Structure 1
């Protein structure tokens, strides 16, 4: 993960496995938007996801929390900034899976996939928060 000690934005705790390269690329995207990252490497991501109320249908490779919201997967910084501005009554945001072209999943020469950012409600249901 990038060094964000001089960043002035919100503190985000990121949980990831040591083997995940796209997680560090997503971290660089988040850091470039001004977030301060507290990086936690763990080998038991399933426990982290359960603790944060992320179901297997919402899951991706890394989980984060920022100001009381869970952030699952390759959620763009712009969606997180909107979440923190609007502060809806939800558990957090998720980009299930690992869609190509989402932050951290960009690959030169590979066609971008449209993807959705889901709002995770407190009862575990989801709705579309944003489309990219």
Structure 2
């Protein structure tokens, strides 16, 4: 009987953390219908615990512009996660940093399609410079990786 009570107490203590682990962060990724690397990035997010809804569109530049990402800082896809825009092939640790710190910005962007970035092929050629996009659209360096 004593063993059963202890086991019940342990299960009760572990239940909330296990439920929290089961909850995934939802993301919506807009991409050009023909882009394969965007699917690679969606898979990368899924492999790292995100629930990703991929939406093909021919209006990618307009969606990015409305999200506050200047043209020179746009990537090949745009993702919306928990109230933030994540543009391009941003490493997941920086997405998590954004979501945990919750800065007063529109989001973050890794412009272009850098080799070796998540979802892209090839070897990383230089450090990734990820920019914060302010509510006013003025980009500043958020992190270098």
TM-score under structure 1 length normalisation: 0.88
Structure 1 unpaired stretches of 5+: 1-6
Q: Which residue of 2 aligns with 1:11?
A: 26
Aligned residues: 124
For the pair 1:61 / 2:57, whether they are aligned, the reply is no
**Structure number with bigger Rg:** 2
5 Å-filtered alignment, 1:1-132, equals 8-107=23-122, 110=123, 112-132=125-145
Structure 2 unpaired stretches of 5+: 1-21
- Asked whether the 8 Å contact 2:28–2:55 carries over to 1, the reply is yes
**SS at the partner of 1:57?**
helix
> Which structure has greater helix proportion?
2
**SS at the partner of 2:109?**
strand
* 1:89–1:46 Cα change, 3 Å: same
- The alignment yields a C-alpha RMSD, in angstroms, of 1.3
Query: Quick one: distance in 1 between partners of 2:27 and 2:68?
Result: 17
TM-score under structure 2 length normalisation: 0.80
- Asked whether the 8 Å contact 1:8–1:36 carries over to 2, the reply is no
